[in-house]
Amino acid sequence: MATWGSRGLRGSTLEEFINHTNERYTEMGLALIQKIPTPITPVKIDQESRHITLAYFDKISTVDYIGAVQGIPVCFDAKECKADTFPLQNVHEHQMDFMEKFEKQSGVAFLLIYFSTRDELYYMRYEQIRKFWDRGKAGGRKSFRYEELEPGWFMELKQGYFVPYLDMIQKDLDCRDE
């Protein structure tokens, strides 16, 4: 696995770090979070390499990850962004609908956004993405700017690869109790 460098995710992906983090959380007995595969139907397969070369999506997917943290249902999606402006088109309507329904069932829904140029990771609560989403639907900006983000929700990777989102889930839950 690649390691975290001072200039970003050198040759690796945010998803790999999250998957590794999820494995560690499971081993530690703190959480059980699973990556949700996107359902596809292969159309063409390269017979030599046995790789799928053409496929279509069976149905729309929900979010990237789902599971439980100490009995609390959790779902989230991981996004990467190169610029200081995040286009809301990167979050699909069916994902917003799923996260809304998930929250109504007393779950915790959020996005993990990696700003690659800044080498910064952000925990975006469902409530916050909903405000930006509603603003776009009402005719406002169809994106949000880095400057609009709340400073207290940025995370630093631990040990260079560990995404400490459990700390942010606790902070998220604490905000709901206020």
Single out the residue of 125, 64, 122 nearest to residue 100, CA to CA: 125
Q: Is 95 annotated as a binding residue?
A: yes
Burial environment of residue 56 by CB neighbours within 10 A (0 to 12, 13 to 18, 19 or more): exposed
Element (H, E) at 93: helix 93-104
Distance CA 123, CA 138 (A): 24
Q: Is 64 annotated as a binding residue?
A: yes
Angle of helix 126-137 relative to helix 93-104, nearest 10 degrees, comes to: 130
Q: Is 172 annotated as a binding residue?
A: no
Q: Is 77 annotated as a binding residue?
A: yes
The CA–CA distances, whole Å, from 39 to 13, 57, 86, 116, 165 equal: 21, 6, 26, 28, 26
List 114's β-bridge partners, or say none: 80, 121
**Which residue ranges make up the annotated binding site for Mg(2+)?**
62, 64, 77, 95
**Which residue ranges make up the annotated binding site?**
62, 64, 77, 95
